[in-house]
Structure 1
């Protein structure tokens, strides 16, 4: 393979102008989202100096997604996904404008700020399942993985840039300007999706409300490949997500140096960007199942070694490897979900994937913190990573379809 073939597969950018517009709008919107995340945390802390209130920010962002996600997916599977996404984007922009207004005036209580954050998260939960159908409907099947990798690398890059940019702008202009820039970023996301053709569900539209959501869950229970992909993600996050352990491990092993602690999260992001930038061979391989299994096991193994390391530089290198494995697993898992799910169910399954992605790390942080309280940070890391590797091996053993090159596009759902 040539050197160019080792880098990110950019065929979707060349072949699909619509995808290019979507990617630009999504990238700018993700940047605005990370800026708002930092700005909300800063504002809440500045007003309360309470870790309970800053913790409530995470709940305000997560609870609407978890509670509303499957119902939003059922709605997206009955309507024009383009229109649903545009509606959600307008709703998120209005919430950002309201946050900007209160940021300039300073008259809204902290509970009101969190309410706006929760409403914006609810609109995000509505838009995500609709956006989940865009790539498989706009790109040839052999380019879906490449499109997902492009989305992943831009999102990881914005995760590196967004918080730093927010810090600079907060110091120069204050919180109102940061919120306003986020509102403007949704304008580009709206522009990116506005030129899409209508995207109604293919096949029989889903049933409304709770019945439609339950149909989505029945599909997940009966489709071994998609179910195995989501279980693998839960194994990697619930059993081994390490972020809550970083402060303790830094104190135990690396002298409690705040500079080292700050580099831990950056190392994960750097690994994710690097792996996705070099993902061309893997996305062209058309074997997302084995790629996901190997990458998820690599994530767990890297965390085991990080828990055993005593050198900060070795530890950071291992976190770069962990971040690379995680980003690779995310692209492969999303490829499985978007290419193995019937279009009429894709909104609900995408919503379930979003819920798993949101709830898994939160539960993993709780698990790690509790285990570390009984043992130590390093023990919690090593145990979690080892459990992740064992769980992934269990999924690979019980779901041989994930190890195969060719997997049927659909499987009958159990009743």
Structure 2
């Protein structure tokens, strides 16, 4: 009975490996520190300009380097020692965070400097993340990769909750410079964990890390249907089913929150990452799933159904706003847990079905898809809400996720039948 009960909780076997344990433990504080900067940069830009349009430029200045350096960084990760690349990019993140602190400490109030620093930071991040994930199969046995991916996503999701809450509370008390300084300090934990890794050269590196290498990685992806479909399923889930751009309107119009944010907005924004954290804490089952293709399809279907139900709650909010808010939050939490499972399985498929010489490049594509999908969703959901309202945009998007997932399952049985190993 005790063993069965223990099996409900996260599989922590990867933490028995010292190298992974150091990276994961360091990431706990580093992710919270990074989220402080995520909060501080747009807040500082708004305090300087008073313009939401200028704040919106952070999306452009963040997305372009994320795409360019995500793809090129993946190629670098397939051609040089991955520990060395992690050392360089982590140090780059330390330096850019320190520059954020310096400009705030000196009171420069230059919005373009802030945007350039943000773009530089995202460039280092875009190279660092594919490399960090591509190294996992060299640290852990294949059977522990689903658990490792779930543990990593749990930390990222927890940081997405704690960082904004802490940052929002500390800005009026400490100011921007202290938040940037805290971010800088937390990054040294990851730098130490990376420094402790043994050298990680690439198995049979091919060519040079230029445009040709990036193209070869994309050609390799196009020729491996299961890998390509794992990206397609994620795009279906995020593009059609991520309604975060509607949360300000939903919080105000449907649930009576203030225009400038408020508790309703904060709860809606935190619900999906909270669900991912719960999914990770009670995610011991992911290591026991062998049919990973069908598991991804079911997880994405649950995500779509949860978003459709959340849209239904928004539509009924005028009759029972408090009850429907609670129901909508519950559905967003369910969706977050399903997204955690989907991400853990998709990441595992990508790591195990790819040879070592190409893992970095495909992880670069993964970063671009994961970052780009929600940004496309912001545009689509915003436009749909203008035409049909936020309830139909949210619920209809969830229904489209269900339809798209069903089409993939029917047309591509190879993905549905994919098994670990």
Normalised by the length of structure 2, the TM-score is 0.93
How much has 1:374 moved relative to structure 2? Answer: 1.3
The match for 1:284 among 288, 293, 297 is: 288
Q: Secondary structure at the match of 2:93?
A: helix
* Alignment correspondent of 2:320: none
Mapped contact 2:243–2:377 kept (Cα < 8 A): yes
Q: Secondary structure at the match of 2:358?
A: helix
Q: Secondary structure at the match of 2:241?
A: coil
How much has 1:27 moved relative to structure 2? Answer: 2.1
How much has 1:392 moved relative to structure 2? Answer: 1.2
* Alignment correspondent of 2:112: 111
Q: Distance in 1 between matches of 2:164 and 2:357?
A: 37
Q: Cα deviations across residues 337-393 of structure 1 (Å, max 9, x unaligned)?
A: 111111100000000000001110000110011111111111111221111111111
* Alignment correspondent of 1:263: 267
Please tell me whether residue 8 in structure 1 is matched to residue 10 in structure 2. yes
Please tell me whether residue 123 in structure 1 is matched to residue 124 in structure 2. yes
Q: Cα deviations across residues 131-155 of structure 1 (Å, max 9, x unaligned)?
A: 1222111000000111111111111
Q: Cα deviations across residues 75-133 of structure 1 (Å, max 9, x unaligned)?
A: 11110011011100001110111110111111251100110111111111111121122
Q: Cα deviations across residues 283-313 of structure 1 (Å, max 9, x unaligned)?
A: 2223322221111111111111111112111
Q: How does 1:55-70 map to 2 (within 5 A)?
A: 55-70=56-71
The match for 2:417 among 382, 404, 413 is: 404
Q: Distance in 1 between matches of 2:117 and 2:253?
A: 39
Mapped contact 1:282–1:291 kept (Cα < 8 A): no
Mapped contact 1:242–1:365 kept (Cα < 8 A): yes
Q: Distance in 1 between matches of 2:164 and 2:326?
A: 23
The match for 1:297 among 295, 301, 305 is: 301
Mapped contact 2:205–2:357 kept (Cα < 8 A): yes
Mapped contact 2:48–2:109 kept (Cα < 8 A): no
Mapped contact 1:252–1:377 kept (Cα < 8 A): no
* Alignment correspondent of 2:388: 375
Q: Secondary structure at the match of 1:281?
A: helix
Mapped contact 2:89–2:124 kept (Cα < 8 A): yes
Compare 369-378 and 249-258 and name the one that shifted more. Answer: 249-258
The match for 2:333 among 320, 328, 331 is: 320
* Alignment correspondent of 1:245: 246
Mapped contact 2:227–2:349 kept (Cα < 8 A): yes
* Alignment correspondent of 1:145: 146
Mapped contact 2:35–2:164 kept (Cα < 8 A): yes
Q: Secondary structure at the match of 1:255?
A: coil
RMSD: 1.5
* Alignment correspondent of 2:408: 395
Q: Cα deviations across residues 41-81 of structure 1 (Å, max 9, x unaligned)?
A: 11111111100111112222222011221111111111001
Mapped contact 2:78–2:205 kept (Cα < 8 A): no
Q: Distance in 2 between matches of 1:195 and 1:395?
A: 43
How much has 1:168 moved relative to structure 2? Answer: 3.1
Mapped contact 1:206–1:345 kept (Cα < 8 A): no
Q: Cα deviations across residues 319-354 of structure 1 (Å, max 9, x unaligned)?
A: 111111111111111111111111100000000000
* Alignment correspondent of 1:42: 43
* Alignment correspondent of 1:164: 165
Mapped contact 1:269–1:320 kept (Cα < 8 A): yes
Q: Cα deviations across residues 164-187 of structure 1 (Å, max 9, x unaligned)?
A: 221233233211111111111111
Q: Secondary structure at the match of 1:70?
A: helix
Q: Secondary structure at the match of 1:55?
A: helix
Q: Unaligned stretches of 5+ in structure 1? A: 410-415
Q: Distance in 1 between matches of 2:396 and 2:109?
A: 45
Mapped contact 1:263–1:316 kept (Cα < 8 A): yes
Q: Distance in 2 between matches of 1:106 and 1:208?
A: 40
Mapped contact 1:74–1:206 kept (Cα < 8 A): no
Compare 50-59 and 209-218 and name the one that shifted more. Answer: 50-59
Compare 192-201 and 250-259 and name the one that shifted more. Answer: 250-259
Compare 285-294 and 302-311 and name the one that shifted more. Answer: 285-294
Aligned length: 407
